[in-house]
């Protein structure tokens, strides 16, 4: 799996969901699981939405000052993912190429997003919830 410890934010729920996203994305390029591609893409679509909603909720209830900007990043990626998904649906015999580009797009986006934006929120969240104790 392409998830590494350096991607850990320290917020257990978020980290678990990130790991699951990486696990699912891995299936897309696993030739022994080629029959699961379509199902995996559908799962990813709903799991990404759930994950974003959970993160946004966590930011909201913690009064995270950058919640709106963070949400915008999620909205943009949801749009990109939908476009790629639609491209896959209509790719005909080029489906494999599209799957590979979905795999690298999702991994690339996730890594950048986690390293910068999710970690920034995690720092805020952990400091805030530590202070409350
Ligand atoms: Fe996020």
Give residue 55 CA to ligand 1 midpoint distance, Å.
6
In a domain, 52, yes or no: yes
In a domain, 69, yes or no: yes
Give residue 93 CA to ligand 1 midpoint distance, Å.
33
In a domain, 64, yes or no: yes
55 within 8 A of 118, measured Cβ to Cβ: yes
53-102 per-position pLDDT tens digit = 999 999 999 999 999 999 999 999 999 999 999 999 999 999 999 999 99
In a domain, 1, yes or no: no
27-52 per-position pLDDT tens digit = 999 989 889 999 999 999 999 999 99
Give residue 52 CA to ligand 1 midpoint distance, Å.
6
In a domain, 4, yes or no: no
**Per-residue pLDDT for 120 more than 60?**
yes
In a domain, 91, yes or no: yes
Which range of residues forms the domain containing residue 44?
10-131
CATH number, residue 20: 1.20.120.50
**Per-residue pLDDT for 13 more than 70?**
yes
Closest CA to 70 of 103, 37, 119: 119
The model scores a pTM over 0.75: yes
The pLDDT of residue 2 is 80
Give residue 126 CA to ligand 1 midpoint distance, Å.
15
Q: Domain total for the chain?
A: 1
Give residue 72 CA to ligand 1 midpoint distance, Å.
10
Ion ligand 1: residues, CB < 5 A: 55, 118
In a domain, 3, yes or no: no
């Amino acid at each position: 799996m392409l998830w590494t410890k350096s991607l850990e934010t320290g917020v257990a729920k978020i980290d678990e969901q990130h790991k699951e996203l990486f696990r699912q994305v891995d299936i897309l390029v696993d030739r022994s699981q080629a029959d699961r591609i379509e199902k995996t893409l559908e799962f990813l679509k709903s799991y990404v939405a759930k994950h974003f909603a959970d993160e946004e909720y966590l930011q909201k209830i913690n009064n995270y000052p950058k919640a709106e900007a963070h949400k915008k990043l999620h909205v943009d990626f949801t749009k990109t993912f939908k476009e790629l998904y639609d491209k896959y649906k209509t790719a005909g015999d080029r489906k494999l190429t599209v799957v590979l580009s979905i795999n690298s797009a999702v991994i690339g986006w996730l890594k950048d997003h986690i390293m910068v934006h999710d970690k920034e929120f995690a720092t805020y969240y952990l400091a805030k919830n530590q202070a409350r104790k």
